[in-house]
A and B are shown apart, each in its own frame.
Chain A
């Protein structure tokens, strides 16, 4: 058995996988701060994780990725760069070798161009998280609906500028006052994400887009990419676990 850990900004994903069949034996998503508080403690050699407390099957190999290779060092783990983990996860989950990976996580947006199973170019967001899960969470709270419901609306989006994950809230409230429906407002929120990632996707385009990260659990962004850019979007079986799966399949 192999274990892969993806230490994200909003959640920590842990998977255990059979080395030969690549079948998932266990998969859990923890809230990041809770994970560190309850299962980790600092040591001289880095972050020690209490695997017994996690209740995982015994593993022969532990690979982790996370927020910058040198920022978090898990004791006993091979640490691999985050973009590599995501690319490996996408290849393992889809069997594709030429595609563009779009990963929208808690705070990060990544677009990676993959050719012959190799990363040939990439872009990531910087100093702004207004196209990520955290932004969607804020907007869902303002609209008073669940994250899963919000992420599915794609019809008749309301125009929003969303220059910031926080200022987006007051803009959205202004639109509520104008009397738009929740469906239109939610679609508008999703459309701001699409507008932000579109230039990155255009720059690193492939015929097939593999869409991963927590945001891929909703259908709206996928709809916009297919409808407006005419690209095929593949969402693998476990979009949110993609980075952790990439770690688990790393040799």
Chain B
């Protein structure tokens, strides 16, 4: 059994079916009290200053023994080389330079069913599993995914879950916190509490689109300002609330790794369904997805605030100023 690091959401069913433990490197990085130190470590190793902070964190989490001993280390990494982040190519290469085994995985840009199936089957071969085992795991995870979708419903419809918990439970579905059994118990407990919680009364209903924030206090800050995030776009995609029996189809319906226009359709539907007043588009400094901001602004019919984050930490004064002004504008 190996501990397999992932750089973004990949077909986790395959890792679990092969008897390995998935570890989402992003989650380890951002929840670590040493997150800032990880970015510095990568820069000391030679990573350029003007490269995404997430990439630097992902590098340090795996390569820096002192930092990764605390969570049990990583044996090998599945790196998504197409459909997520263009910097992952070089990240993989620096992993290899440091002696870390990497397995590439590519989402086909045009959502081609056969190509995606081929990628999945190659991953199954490398990890040592087959469709029967993978589909059995899928059935179990589907139940868990449904429960996480219920947390999402409680967020926007029953209004009993706050924006941060919505983000947390959905984003955790990339690796099910490395232990699907424990995560399922946690979800059960949370659903019981959330089902009986008081309704939130914030007047402004916001959507959050783009990659998960590198800021640690965005959700609570918005709540102190009388607004609540009731839609987390990419996190919800990570959780995959799509009912389909076919695993390849499930990862085709997943919008995030393909073109922006598929994401826009999904966002538009949720703006309507969740009755959103405005959208916060988070962009990571130096990320190619910053370019997509202009497409999102042109295509979406609600007010959009674009905020940018660089290194892990709390919201800076400039970003707070923008958030304040945006909420003021929506009122």
Contact = CB atoms under 8 A, between A and B. Distances in A.
A83 B325 contact: yes
Nearest to B321: A68
Contact of A124 (B297, B322, B329): B322
The listed residue with most B CB atoms (<10 A of its CB), out of A67, A81, A82, A120, is A81
A68 B317 contact: yes
A82 B325 contact: yes
A119 B308 contact: no
A70 B326 CA distance: 15
Contacts of A71: 317, 320
A126 B318 contact: yes
A118 B330 CA distance: 10
A196 interface: no
B325 A81 contact: yes
A207 interface: no
B202 interface: no
A133 to B, nearest CB: 17
Nearest to B306: A123
B328 interface: yes
A122 B321 contact: no
Nearest to A65: B321
A81 B328 contact: yes
Contact of B320 (A70, A119, A120): A70
B321 A69 contact: yes
B interface: dominant SS: helix
B324 interface: yes
B297 to A, nearest CB: 8
B303 interface: yes
B318 A68 contact: yes
A201 to B, nearest CB: 15
A53 B300 CA distance: 52
A171 interface: no
A120 B328 CA distance: 10
Contacts of A118: 329
Interface string B289-331: 0000000010000010000101000000110111011101100
A68 B315 CA distance: 11
Contacts of B303: 120-121
The listed residue with most A CB atoms (<10 A of its CB), out of B303, B321, B328, is B321
Sort chain A's interface into a size bin.
Answer: 10 to 19
A84 interface: yes
Contacts of A70: 320
Interface string A111-147: 0000000111110101100000000000000000000
Interface string A81-110: 111100000000000000000000000000
A122 B329 contact: yes
Contacts of A67: 317, 321
B319 to A, nearest CB: 8
B290 to A, nearest CB: 11
The listed residue with most A CB atoms (<10 A of its CB), out of B285, B297, B320, B325, is B325
A124 B318 contact: yes
A119 B329 contact: yes
A122 B317 contact: no
A119 B331 CA distance: 10
Contact of A68 (B285, B297, B320, B328): B320
A120 B308 CA distance: 20
Contacts of B321: 67-69, 81-83, 124
A119 B325 contact: yes
B238 to A, nearest CB: 27
A122 B325 contact: yes
Contacts of A121: 303, 329
A66 to B, nearest CB: 9
B328 A84 contact: yes
Interface in A180-218: 203
Nearest to A85: B325
Contacts of B317: 67-68, 71
A120 B329 contact: yes
A68 B325 contact: no
A120 B329 CA distance: 7
Given A68-B321, A121-B329, 4 more contacts: A81-B328, A121-B303, A124-B321, A203-B297
Interface of A: 67-71, 81-84, 118-122, 124, 126-127, 203
Q: Which 4 A-B pairs have the closest CB atoms?
A: A68-B317, A83-B325, A81-B324, A68-B321
